Structure 1
Amino acid sequence: MSLVTDHHSPSAPQQPRPGGGRAAARRGRRRARKPAPLGGRYIGYVLYFVGAGLISGAVVHHPLDPARYTKIAVIGVLVFLAATVVNEFLLATDRPALRRAVLIIAASLMLSFGIGMLSGGLQHFEDFPDRGAALVPLGIAVSFIAFVLKDAESSWRRIFGPLGLAVLLTAAVSFFGLRAVADGLGEPSGESGHSHGGGTEEEADDEHSTEEEPTAPTAEPSAPESSAPPEEESGHVDDGHSH
């Protein structure tokens, strides 16, 4: 009888529910969620690199044709933002809140320009030494700041920490070093050695006019016409006498 009473006693310890409640169930569903498909991850990374490539080319070549390369930069920004939406929202396991989402988009835009300045300045440094010497260190600093703001595992205070100081020193050293190299290379004033379509229109017109310039015909003196008959020219005059 006492055994039955002890078995049903309210003071007896109760076993915890398996699973740990709703929070544990939610965590279990997150862990059990299938990874993003391979095709989606591939498209996301391709969009990242294509967008950064378009931006890098537009940033470096902008002085050659501002209107054209501004359009290319805008297209690159849109592609990079599309990659951000795919990777950070559509394929992400935990979608960020609205405030965090706005910060991610802004930081991604900033990161795209930082990567574009860094890669474009390095790739076309010999074509644009002075411009490349400024773009490379600026790209290092901008890309680092944008990455820290975008990274969910980091705080913005890391920008001013030891790592941020190391990045700043790297950017400064690269600036002065590349400036010295650019001064050694020299850059022709007003023009760059990097051309995408031949010379300017004025040069083409000058060359065209030079090729088609007609040569003046050489005037040959014509023999004076003589009104005298052939007999008079030869000095024999017919006097009516026959010999």
Structure 2
Amino acid sequence: MNAFFSTRAGCVVRWLDLPGDGVPLVFVHGLGCASSYEYPRVVCDPNFQGRRAILIDLPGYGYSEKPKEFSYSISEQARVVAELITHLQLNDYFLYGHSMGGSIAIEAATQLDGLRGLIVSEPNFRPDGGFFSRQICRVDEETYITHVYALMMNNYKNPWTGSLSAAAPWAVWRGASSLIAGNQWLEMFVELNKPVCLLFGEKSLPDTDFTQLSAMGITTVELADCGHNMSWENPPALAAALAAFCTEHE
């Protein structure tokens, strides 16, 4: 596990740098998740083809520190991702983000030099958030921290609970609130002057944005036998899709 002090977040951010060949792929996780928890199985899959992978735990999540003073907004998290990539002196890389991490990756992509291409899976493209963001923000931050976070830990018995247990509840609430407030992520994605790709699990379809972007000629990929939680529902399919995009644009 690697670490550096983020001046943007005012805390230590940690990541895994898994060795491999080719242009590296940087992973950005979703709400309540951690790349160190979610993506080693994907990177180790034969379908990933042994590419170097950098798995970031965002501030507030996983092994990274969790200061209460940080905003945990999508824009600030994107600046932390850009800061880490600069710290690593990467001048040629791909970027992948899932769900909230997709929105973060889209914003980070607009700030970065050296980006080879961007892949997002089921990101938040528009304000209003997703189902869990809206559920989280039905209460105020303090109520979520003191009561609802523990209820979620008790009620959701799936792999997400494991990473949620390592997430700061204030980071989760503020991240959800920022997703609901929103930004022009769809427009940023479409206008990015780099190769882009949108992934969706077949169980999440049909989806209006997926259909619209496909009709516009943007690369869209449907992953079989999975829904939103594709990294643990079908890691070989996600690994294959990521590797195919990187190989095509390397």
Normalising by structure 1, we get a TM-score of 0.27
- Structure with the largest fraction of helix: 1
TM-score (norm 2): 0.26
Larger radius of gyration: 1
Q: Which has the higher contact order (CA 8 A, sep 6+)?
A: 2
